[in-house]
Amino acid sequence: MRSIPVLTNVLLMPNEHVLGPLARQHLYSSYKRFVDSLKFITNDRQALQVSSIWRNAYKDIYRYWGDGEGLDKFAKRHTLVNYYQPFHTLSFNEIISSSAELRPPSSRVVGYTDNWRFCIDCAIEDVEINATPHFHINHQIPGITQCLKHNTPLKTGCLSCGNEWLNLLKIIMPSSSGVCDKCQGNLLTINSYQDDDTHWLQTTSLQLFEGVYSDINLESVQKAYRKWIGIGSRQGVLNLKERKIVRDAQKHLDNHFSLEFYRLFFTNADLKSKQRRVPVLNLYEAAFNEGKFIHPLVHLVLIRCLFGSVENFVENEMHE
C-alpha cells in the first residue's frame, strides 16, 4: 500500500518527457531533499538524465501517471524508446521489460543527447495554458537543436553559473523568461546553423521518434551499408583492396556535408588533425561490426550520405 500518493497538482503533460513530473513533485513537496520527496514514487532517482533509453523510474512513473493506456503506448509517447529501437539489438518489448538501465552509446559526443533542452516560445505557450512550462519529449530527441514548430533554436545550460543541464533536479523546469532560475544568467542558445541536411536529419529524427520507421532493423541497415560499399558480409580481416574501398568511402562520408553540419551534431568534430572528421562517424564499424548498437544519429548521417533518404534506403533493401 502506498501511504502518501503523488501530489495531486503534479500532472504528466501529453507531450512531456517521462521524468518531468518528478521535478515538479520535488518542487511542490515540503521535502528539502529530492530523495525524500520522490521516495513514494521510485527508488531509481539518481542522476535524472534526459538520455536514458530505459530505466526503472520509467515503470514507476507509469504506475503513477500512466492513464491506463498500457506501458508500451506510454513508452512511445513519453520516452525515446521508439527513436532508439530500430538500431538497438533489443526489440521494443525487450527494452521496456528491462530492469537494467539502458543508456545510449557515445552520448557525450552526439548531438546534445545528454542536455535537457527547451523552446522559449513553447515555454511561453505552456505557461499560458498550464501555468507552468515543462520539458517536451520531442525537444529531447538527440540532434534536435531547434523547435520544429516555432523554428527557433532551443536553449539549454546556463552560461553564467555553468550548470550544464544534465540532471533534471538541478533545473526542475524550463524558464519562460529565458534566464537561469538559479543565478538569473543567460541560458545557452544552441547553435542555430541550418541547411537542407540538418533539416532532413532533424525531421527524420522526429519521424523515428513517432514510429514511422519502426520496421527498420539493425541487420538490414548494416547489410545495406555493405552493399553500398560493395563488400559483402565478412567476419575476417579485409584485404588491401577492400580496405582501400572502405577508406575511400569513409573519406566521402567525412566530406559529404558542410563543416558546420559535423560541428552541429558532434561535439568532437575536427578536434584532432589527421584523424577522421568525427571519431564516432566510423563507416567500417557501422557496416562490419555486426550486431553493434551505434547511436541512431550516426546511422541517420550515414543513410543521408549514402542513400539520400530513408525511403531510398528502404527501396534499395526491398529490391535485392
The residue (of 180 and 302) whose beta carbon lies closer to Zn ion is 180
Whether the Cβ atoms of residue 116 and residue 171 lie closer than 8 Å to each other? yes
Site string for Zn ion, 95-134 (x = CB under 5 A): ------------------------x-xx------------
Residue with Cβ nearer Zn ion (19 or 180): 180
State the binding string over 63-102 for Zn ion (x if CB under 5 A, else -): ----------------------------------------
Region at 211 (left for phi over 0; alpha for psi -120 to 50; beta for the rest): left
Residues contacting Zn ion: total by CB under 5 A: 13
DSSP class of 32 = S
Build a one-symbol-per-residue string for 244-283: x at contacts with Zn ion by CB under 5 A, - elsewhere.
Answer: ----------------------------------------
User: What would the x/- binding string for Zn ion be over residues 127 to 166, using CB under 5 A?
Assistant: --------------------x-xx-------x-xx-----
Rounded to the nearest 5°, which phi and psi values hold at 251? -60, -40
236-257 burial, b for 16+ CB within 10 Å, e for fewer?
eeeeeeeeeebeebbeebbebb
Nearest Cα residue to 141 out of 295, 285, 25, 248: 295
Report the residue from 35, 47, 183, 271 that binds Zn ion according to the rule CB under 5 A. Answer: 183
Q: Establish if 171 lies at the interface with Zn ion (CB under 5 A).
A: no
Q: Which residue has the cell 538497438?
A: 88
Q: Give min distance, CB of 20 to Zn ion, in A.
A: 16
260 C-beta neighbours (distance < 10 Å), count: 15
Q: Give the DSSP per-residue string, 76-122.
A: HHHSSHHHHGGGSSS-HHHHHT--S-B--TTTTTBTTTTS--B-HHH
Closest approach, Cβ 45 to Zn ion, in A, equals 23
Q: Which of 19, 53, 109, 180 binds Zn ion (CB under 5 A)?
A: 180
Q: Which residues of this protein are in contact with Zn ion, per CB under 5 A?
A: 119, 121-122, 147, 149-150, 158, 160-161, 180, 182-183, 185
